[in-house]
Amino acid sequence: MPDHPSSTLTPSSPEIRRRRFNVSLVWLVPIVAALIGVSMVVHKALSAGPQIVVSFMTAEGLEANKTQVKYKNVVIGKVNSIALSSDRSHIDATIELDQSAKAFTARDARFWVVRPRIGAGGVSGVDTLLSGAFIGADPGNAEDTEKNFVGLENPPAITYGQKGKRFTLHTADLGSLDIGSAVYYRRIQVGQVVSYHLADDGKGVDVDVFISAPNDQYVRKDSRFWNASGVDVTLGANGLKVNTQSVASILSGGIAFIEPNYSTDKALADEGAQFTLFDDQETAVAPPDGEARYVQMRFDQSLRGLAVNAPVEFLGVNVGKV
C-alpha cells in the first residue's frame, strides 16, 4: 500500500458573529438634548435658594419671570409670580432667591421697588428708565427667618452695615424738612433725616437723624442743632448779611449742628441721644439765660408795629422778647 501521510480530521469550529449595535444619527440629537435638559434641571435644583413672598401696595414696574432682585447691583433672585391678595388691598410677589442669598430671609430683611424718584435727597433710580424697575434688598442680622415680608414703599435711608449713630431732635413743627434732608457740620454734609413722627403728647415733632461715621464723633453732649432751611437775612451795622448752608438746603431743607465755644462738656453723645432743634443758629448757640420770668404790661396807647418775638431791651442790652 502506498504510504500516505497521516492526517488528523478536526471538525470545523462554528463561526461566532457579534451583532453590532448601531445608533442612528437621527437619535443622537434628541439624546444629547435630553441629557442637557436633565443636567440643567439637576443644576437648578441644586442651586435653588429659598422662596419668599413680598407684599407691595402696587405691582407698578414689576413683571413675573423678568423683574430681578438686586443687592449692591448684584442679582440675587427673580420674581416668579405676582398675584393680587384675597382682600385686594395689596399684591404678593413670589421671589426665588439664589442659594447664596439665604441671609435675605432674616426676619428684619427689607425689600423695596427701585424706580425713578425725586425727593429731598435728589433724584434716584434714573438707571431704571432703560433697564426697568427692580427690587432692592437689604439683609438683616436677626437669627430668625421669615418667608413673608411687607415691602417698603420708599427706599430706606440707612442700609445694612452702614456705620454711624442715630439721634432724635425735638422741634415744634417739621417746617420744610423731609426724609433725606441733609445734616451739616461746618457746612459739610455728614448725615441726613431718616424719619419723623409726632411727639407722644402731640405737641411737637420728633425728627430722627443719622450721622455717618466717622463724622458722628463730632456730635457732643452739648452740641446744638438748628433748622438750616431757607436763607437767613440779617440787616445790621455791618450791612446786609445772608447766611445759608447750601443751595440744596434752600430747596429741600436741612439741619446744622455745632458745639458752642463756651461748652465745657466735650464728651461724645451716646447712640439715640435727644436734642432740641432750634429755629436758627443765633438762638441755638446763645448762652443759657436761666429760668425765664414772665412780666405782663399794660399800655394805654396803641401797640401798632409790635409783634410776637420782638426784642425787649434795657440800656441797649437785649434782656428778653415779647
Residues near 149 by Cβ (< 8 Å), separated by ≥ 6?
52, 53, 54, 55, 109, 110, 111
Give the pLDDT confidence score for residue 3 in this predicted structure.
53
**207-255 confidence digits (pLDDT tens):** 999 999 999 999 999 999 999 875 555 555 555 555 555 555 455 568 9
Is the pLDDT confidence value at 124 over 90? no
**208 vs 284, more confident:** 208
Q: How many CB atoms lie within 10 A of CB 276?
A: 13
The per-residue DSSP string of 228-247 comes to --S-EEEEETTEEEEE-S-H
The per-residue DSSP string of 134-167 comes to EEEEE----SSB-SEEE-BSS--SS-TT--EEEE
Give the pLDDT confidence score for residue 64 in this predicted structure.
93
Q: What's the grid cell of residue 149?
A: 415680608
Give the pLDDT confidence score for residue 13 in this predicted structure.
57
Closest by CA position to 208, among listed 192, 220, 223: 192
Does pTM surpass 0.85? Answer: no
**62-88 confidence digits (pLDDT tens):** 999 999 999 988 999 999 999 999 999
Give the pLDDT confidence score for residue 142 in this predicted structure.
87
Give the pLDDT confidence score for residue 161 in this predicted structure.
76
- Percent of the chain residues past pLDDT 70, beyond the cut: 78
For residues 166 and 159, give the distance between their C-alpha atoms in angstroms, rounded to a whole number.
13
- Percent of the chain residues past pLDDT 90, beyond the cut: 40
Query: What value does the mean pLDDT of the chain take?
Result: 82
Q: What's the grid cell of residue 95?
A: 421671589
Is the pLDDT confidence value at 47 over 90? no
Amino acid at 29: V
